[in-house]
Amino acid sequence: MNKFSREVSVEILVGLFMFVVLIALSVFTIVLSREKLWSESYQYEFIFTEVGGLREGDGVYLRGMNVGRVKQTALEDSRVHVYVTMDVPLQLRHGYKIEIVDASMLGGKYLKIYEGPEDAPLLGENVTILGSKPVDMIAELSEAVDGLQRMIKSVESGQGTLGQLLNDDTMYNNMAVLAEDLKGIVGRVAEGQGTVGKLLTDEAVYNDASAMMANLRMVSDRIAKGESTMGKLLSEDSELYENFDATMAAARAIAEGINQGEGTLGLLVRDAKLYNETTLLVEDVRAAVDDLREASPVTSFGSVLFGAF
């Protein structure tokens, strides 16, 4: 009897142990699968031309947060339908973007969702949600490496500026000559030769510059104190400004009077009849002067002739 009881107890313990193991496996399965049994979930379908290796169980990210996972992928009518389960509702607006992004350089993918600009209108119901074509990082890296190899080959063959710098001795020789010329110029400047050298080494130039700055400072001080014509123009005393303003007002009044035909100058400017008469008078005076010039030799000859008698 005791032996039977012990066997029954061992079987019960084994059964309880297996039950606990099954419960633990169920809990771990739920945790690893990221299923939330007691929370509301939202199902969405996205359509891609290709998914670049996206698999079931990959994460779904919205605003940088993991909000779901890929439930299923299916190939239908030359397109890939991706079914996702999300923990939050999705509000897509015009300008949205659904992308498949590489998780790391070692592999892996995840779905990245951009809902669109906040001021854009929402999409209508029963709208097909299209995803963007994924970027193949390996292919992009391969193209970059190919381009780098082509550039290295062109440089090695002497093409381009960099290739000529590395392969053409003429350019190197020109740079060496230029360096020697620069060294000579620097030496001449250090010795005080030339204009730049004198500016850097001759104290007389410095003294002249100091004297000129002192004179400029003195002039500016005099102007600031209101001395000289420029100082009076810039000073706070308004007498000179008022005189200048009165002069300008008088000149404006004279100009307005001339423009209105007042005075002799105004009549000359505005009265066409007076202008015509003045023109005729000038022509008559010119004709009289010409006649006088022509008659002057005859008058002189007559005076000499009759004066002799």
pLDDT of res. 249 = 81
The angle, 0 to 180 degrees and rounded to 10, between the axes of the packed helices 272-308 and 263-270 is 100
pLDDT of res. 104 = 78
Q: What is the layout of strands, in order, in the sheet containing 109-114? A: 42-48, 79-86, 65-76, 59-62, 109-114, 97-102
pLDDT of res. 260 = 73
User: What SS3 state is found at 262?
Assistant: coil
DSSP state of 121: P
User: What SS3 state is found at 1?
Assistant: coil
- Global pTM reads 0.41
Q: Cα–Cα distances in Å, from 48 out to 42, 76, 113, 169, 307?
A: 20, 10, 13, 56, 132
Integer Cα distance of 215 and 205 in angstroms: 15
pLDDT of res. 148 = 86
**Around Cβ 129, how many Cβ atoms within 10 Å?**
15
Q: What is the CA radius of gyration of the chain?
A: 52
H/E stretch holding 117 reads none
Would you say 113 and 129 are in contact if contact means Cβ atoms under 8 Å apart? no
Name the token pair of 251: 């000149």
- pLDDT tens digits in sequence order for the chain, 309 residues long: 566 566 667 777 778 888 888 888 877 766 655 555 556 789 999 999 988 888 898 999 999 899 999 999 999 888 999 999 999 998 899 999 999 888 877 778 899 999 999 899 988 888 888 888 887 777 777 888 888 888 888 877 777 777 777 777 777 788 888 888 888 888 887 777 777 777 777 777 777 777 888 888 888 887 777 776 666 666 666 666 677 777 888 788 777 777 776 766 666 666 666 667 777 777 877 877 777 766 655 554 455 444 444
User: What SS3 state is found at 135?
Assistant: coil
- From 87, 80, 89, select the one nearest 109 (Cα to Cα): 80
pLDDT of res. 198 = 73
